[in-house]
Amino acid sequence: MAPEFHIATDEGLISVQAGMEIDLVELYELAKGVLASADYDAELPLLVDLRGLRVELIREAVEPFSKFIIQNFSGRGGSIAVVIDGEMSRKLSAGVYWLACAVAGTEVFDDYDHALKWLIRREFAGAGSDIQLATGGC
């Protein structure tokens, strides 16, 4: 399966799935595609699923890729949750954590459900209280 993204404006979420063996050029193209989409809205929360991602980190490509991510995803209104797995190399997971620290409003998770729950709580906290009142709570 190729890396892909989906922007659900009606659900208020951008989701990215890139869990496979790819290179940084493909990740860069995926990120560019998200930003170039007519439906992209920096206020929407972003869920990035990197479970299963295997990338060979080529030294010459890491710095430009990191700069691109920081320049284009910092300052978003919406939060970013990144999901990784225990099979990811230490070097790659360290890079993901480093980028998450460099981009405000970003957290890294090893559990998809926890990541989604964090996004919901963080992004819809005000709306959530109205929902709890209407439904009697969770």
Distance CA 87, CA 117 (A): 23
pLDDT digits (tens, 9 = 90+) for 36-55: 999 999 999 999 999 999 98
pLDDT digits (tens, 9 = 90+) for 66-93: 999 999 999 899 999 999 999 999 999 9
- DSSP letter string over 108-122? EES-HHHHHHHHHHH
Flag whether pLDDT at 133 surpasses 50: no
* Amino acid symbol at 53: L
- 3-class SS at 95? helix
Interval 22-33 mean pLDDT? 92
Contact 115, 82 (CB under 8 A): yes
Query: What is the reported pTM?
Result: 0.87
In the chain, domain spans:
4-135
Rg (C-alpha) for the chain, rounded Å, is: 15
pLDDT digits (tens, 9 = 90+) for 85-127: 999 999 999 999 999 999 999 999 999 999 999 999 998 876 5
- Give the residue from 84, 104, 105 showing the smallest Cα distance to 95: 84
- The CATH code of the domain at 4-135 is 3.30.750.24
